[in-house]
A and B are shown apart, each in its own frame.
Chain A
Amino acid sequence: MKNLLLFLVVTFVFPAHALDGEILIHDPSTIVQHAGRYFTYGTGNGLPILISDDGWTWKRAGSLMSATPAGKAGPEVLARGGNNTWAPDVIHIGDKYFVYYSAPATQPRSAIGLLVGRTLDPQSPEYKWEDAGPVVWSDGIEDSNAIDPGVLLGPDGRLWLTYGSYFGYIRLVELDPKSGQRRYPKQAPLNVAINSEASIPIYHDGWYYLLVTHGSCCQGANSTYNIRMGRSRRVTGPYLDNMGVDMIEGGGKLFAASRGRHVGPGHFGLLDLGQGVQKFSLHYEADLDRGGVSVLDIRPLLWRDGWPVAGDNLLAGTYSIESARTGTVLELAVQGFPVGGFRPRRPPGTGGPPPEPQAGPPVADQDAAQVAGNWPATSDVRLAPAILQAQQRWVIAPVANAGGYPGAPFFRITIAGTERSLTATVHGELTATPFAGKDEQLWRIDQLTDGTYRIGPKSASAFADALALSAVGSSMPTLSKFDPASDRQRWLLGTP
């Protein structure tokens, strides 16, 4: 019983954390991958750097400006704006990284400067950032506050920058992908939205989307930050929301708002991991589980009816694991027992027709302790029609100090009330064994853009390709290379 209680405690004490490690940040840039690591930059003295080996555990790693020739914004940037360094965005084009950053003076006078580098790795001998001067600015009088840059490399290879913050307009200019500077500097910027900041355009399936942040920042748990959006067939707009209201008139369909223990989501950034997995970065103005400070998070990005949808990272709980291909659910390969016991159609020994059904008291959920007496310690895993039995009830819980992947820690997947945990074999098959924290018992669970999940082991040593749980048959799960075009490896996690 002691072990069971310990298991339950371990399973359910985990809150819905926003990442792990040193994740204090405000106005994070788009997260970029470089040499197998993840990088983001934020508001603060010299533009602080956060780096992660796996996308889950982050470390503070100095500041960007410390690798510039003068250790601060360049002279022309300072002349157009001021000495603050806020809200950068970063993009990788060819062999260069462009970092656009806000350099405000007394707002709305501000400039957006450009840094150019060839590596993000502070340990690399080639690591340095060159000042490439200001790109856009606001003079303190015009209807613009030139902060909060957001960049997009479109499907046609054209590079775009949006910027602005409340005072006046969100503006759009085209950039030269070779230099990172404005392509047509004599053209007036195009106004595309108002009443917002932290804008960034993205492209998906024939549409351009403009993500912005509405509400107030920088007031901790009293901040009203929320992320909104509009879309257009052209990058130049007009960006209309779901009700047809132009963002330049204040429109904006809600994308993410405060929820649970996280107050004030803002500063959207797209993190496309490929193979149908998209995520987005953001900060919360206040993480109530961390004393109400501003922190980084990464969440699943879904698409529904032509609009992006903010997904939620998986919470610890008891789930059924249903194949989107077959509709059958994952279970231990043991003999099941009906929930509530066998119910004969007529009392034993009686003849004639069965009696009229009579409603009875609620039937309790089936507990493994009721039926697991004859289960082997190690058993196969299979798929079967869902009938709510104990061998189909899986506790999915994060495992502490085991690492993770962008947005989430590794999970264990264990039959509720037992230690029988889903385990990958060296041959790429599945079994259930007592949990021991081994890599083959740790699982990465990514929500795909359609809302289903991809489930793969941290380690399956015999295979070079990343493996994912696959319904190769209606009754047979296995592990195989993920195919984003197939339903075989798409799973639904629901209440059993």
Chain B
Amino acid sequence: MSIARKSIGLTIFSVCLAGSWCAAQTDDAKPRPAASTLASPKGERQSVDARGFIHRWLVLEPVPVPPRLTEVAVQEALQLAALPNVVGAHPADGAVVTVNATEYRWHALETSNYNLNLYHFAWALSKPTSNVLFWVETAVDSPREMQNVRLAIGSNAASRWWLNGEPVIALNDDRQSVIDDGVSRRLTLRKGRNVIRAAIVNGGGATDFCARFLDAMDWPIQGLIVILEPPPDPRE
């Protein structure tokens, strides 16, 4: 990102914090067309593709955050945009959460590309695309326990990733979404459901991400099933 881009982002964020100008800038009266690469998932389950990429995600509408992408800034953004701390809670399509006294809606999405274009997602909803944090989540069903696997992601821009609640990848700074940019250390995929959650922080311009698992030889893992439906709540 250029310095100019960051400067513009800073100005917009300051205005957003000061009042409702931000919403006025992004809420067009006329509905925008849906992103051509994004659709509502059909059916409950979908395999990862031949290159291992996960196509189905639950994406929360963007939460405004300060326009910086350093290690410290991303940590601050995560605190500012923290999701309600409800043990065992998982998002569902259409569910609404409150962050900083503002309500945001989860959207179940299926991308036709290897990556999911968050800019198109937010733009189509007339939501801000710069200086925002996107929460995304999905779950993969593994037919067996798999050791020495890695989560491999690309993100524009900074991002944090968790697998089954454990932090596994942290990328800072402005960056493009490159396949297998951030790669976790060796992990174990449980047999059954494994939850991936991420926060993607964008400064300005395009924003997207992609994710897959690599095996012990660093080859993409196929045969994983993506399931967006949350598991039964054990409290019920």
List residues of A whose CB falls within 8 A of some B CB.
Answer: 335, 344-345, 427-429, 470, 472-476, 478, 480, 488
CA distance A427 to B172 in the complex (A): 25
B151 to chain A, nearest CB (A): 10
Q: For chain B residues 1-59, which have a beta carbon within 8 Å of chain A?
A: 3-4
B114 to chain A, nearest CB (A): 15
> Is B171 located at the chain interface by the 8 A CB criterion?
yes
Q: Mark B144-173, 1 if CB is under 8 A from A, else 0.
A: 000000101000000000000000000110
CA distance A480 to B217 in the complex (A): 8
Residues of B within 8 A of A335 (CB): 70-72, 172
> Is B180 located at the chain interface by the 8 A CB criterion?
yes
CA distance A344 to B218 in the complex (A): 42
CA distance A480 to B186 in the complex (A): 11
List residues of B whose CB falls within 8 A of some A CB.
Answer: 3-4, 70-72, 150, 152, 171-172, 178, 180-186, 214, 218
Closest chain A residue to B216, Cβ basis: A480
Total A-B residue contacts, Cβ distance less than 8 Å: 40
Residue from the set B72, B172, B185 with the largest chain A CB neighbour count within 10 Å: B185
CA distance A335 to B173 in the complex (A): 10
CA distance A478 to B180 in the complex (A): 13
CA distance A473 to B178 in the complex (A): 9
Subset of 15 A-B contacts with CB under 8 Å: A344-B3, A345-B3, A345-B4, A427-B185, A427-B186, A429-B185, A472-B180, A472-B218, A473-B181, A473-B183, A474-B178, A474-B182, A475-B181, A476-B182, A478-B183
Residues of A within 8 A of B214 (CB): 472
Q: Per DSSP, are chain A's interface residues mostly helix, strand or loop, or mixed? A: loop
Residues of A within 8 A of B150 (CB): 472
Closest chain B residue to A427, Cβ basis: B186
A172 to chain B, nearest CB (A): 45
- Flag if A475 contacts B186 (CB, 8 Å): no
CA distance A344 to B10 in the complex (A): 15
CA distance A478 to B183 in the complex (A): 9
Residues of B within 8 A of A345 (CB): 3-4
With known contacts A335-B71, A429-B185, A429-B186, A473–B3 Cβ distance under 8 A: no
CA distance A335 to B70 in the complex (A): 7
CA distance A105 to B46 in the complex (A): 83
- Flag if B72 contacts A480 (CB, 8 Å): no
With known contacts A335-B70, A345-B3, A476–B183 Cβ distance under 8 A: yes
CA distance A472 to B181 in the complex (A): 9
Residues of B within 8 A of A428 (CB): 186
Q: B171's contact among A344, A470, A475, by CB below 8 Å, is which?
A: A475
A331 to chain B, nearest CB (A): 12
CA distance A422 to B72 in the complex (A): 24
Residue from the set A429, A470, A476, A488 with the largest chain B CB neighbour count within 10 Å: A476
A496 to chain B, nearest CB (A): 19
- Flag if A475 contacts B182 (CB, 8 Å): yes
A134 to chain B, nearest CB (A): 53
CA distance A345 to B150 in the complex (A): 41
Residues of A within 8 A of B71 (CB): 335
Closest chain A residue to B171, Cβ basis: A475
With known contacts A335-B70, A335-B72, A480-B218, A472–B3 Cβ distance under 8 A: no
Residue from the set A335, A474, A480 with the largest chain B CB neighbour count within 10 Å: A474
B148 to chain A, nearest CB (A): 9
Closest chain A residue to B73, Cβ basis: A335
Residues of B within 8 A of A480 (CB): 218
CA distance A472 to B214 in the complex (A): 9
With known contacts A335-B70, A345-B4, A473–B182 Cβ distance under 8 A: yes
- Flag if B186 contacts A474 (CB, 8 Å): no
CA distance A475 to B171 in the complex (A): 8
With known contacts A345-B3, A345-B4, A488-B218, A472–B183 Cβ distance under 8 A: yes
Residue from the set A335, A428, A473, A488 with the largest chain B CB neighbour count within 10 Å: A473
- Flag if A473 contacts B180 (CB, 8 Å): yes
- Flag if B182 contacts A478 (CB, 8 Å): no
CA distance A349 to B70 in the complex (A): 23
- Flag if B186 contacts A473 (CB, 8 Å): no
B152 to chain A, nearest CB (A): 6
- Flag if B183 contacts A475 (CB, 8 Å): yes
Residues of B within 8 A of A475 (CB): 171, 181-183
Residues of B within 8 A of A476 (CB): 182-184
Residues of A within 8 A of B185 (CB): 427, 429, 478
CA distance A475 to B161 in the complex (A): 14
CA distance A470 to B181 in the complex (A): 13
Residues of B within 8 A of A429 (CB): 185-186
Closest chain A residue to B71, Cβ basis: A335
Residues of B within 8 A of A474 (CB): 178, 180-182
Closest chain A residue to B218, Cβ basis: A472
Residues of A within 8 A of B181 (CB): 473-475
Residues of A within 8 A of B180 (CB): 472-474
CA distance A94 to B70 in the complex (A): 62
Residues of B within 8 A of A488 (CB): 218
CA distance A470 to B183 in the complex (A): 12
Residues of B within 8 A of A427 (CB): 185-186
CA distance A335 to B3 in the complex (A): 18
Closest chain B residue to A328, Cβ basis: B181
B150 to chain A, nearest CB (A): 7
CA distance A244 to B171 in the complex (A): 55
